[in-house]
Amino acid sequence: MTEEEFWDALEYRVSHELRLMDNPQIQCLWCDGFIAERYETANAEPLIGGRTFICRGSEQKEWKFKLLLPERWDSAELIRWDTILPPDEMSGWISLDFRNRTLHLDPMSAANAEL
């Protein structure tokens, strides 16, 4: 999986996760893309940060995002993108901070979804 393919897949996975949440105010939201701006891949807590777009109907708002990585890499070019995205049957790995308009993504905290 390339980086571009990863960001496209993440957009759809986040939209799917939002629809699965218990809160009807969140279920109607969807994600319209990611712009990665900060790659902190070699830190003790490796992450990627940037901007995303969270939508309600046709209304789109810019949010910040923080994606925790499962391991450290010496550079962004070495990231194995296919190891980050949880499978479709996994859930519970995103949280939203409405006050600060921040989307937190922690794929390592994903668990089997109860369908």
70-112 pLDDT, tens per residue?
999 998 899 999 999 988 888 889 999 999 999 999 999 877 6
Across 1-115, the runs of DSSP E, i.e. the strands, are 29-40, 47-56, 59-68, 90-91, 94-97, 102-105, 111-112
- Of 90, 45, 110, the closest CA to residue 72 belongs to 45
Please write the tens of the pLDDT for every residue from 6-50: 999 999 999 999 998 889 889 999 999 999 999 999 988 999 999
Predicted pLDDT at 113: 58
* Cα radius of gyration rounded to whole Å, the chain: 14
- Whether pTM > 0.95 for this model: the answer is no
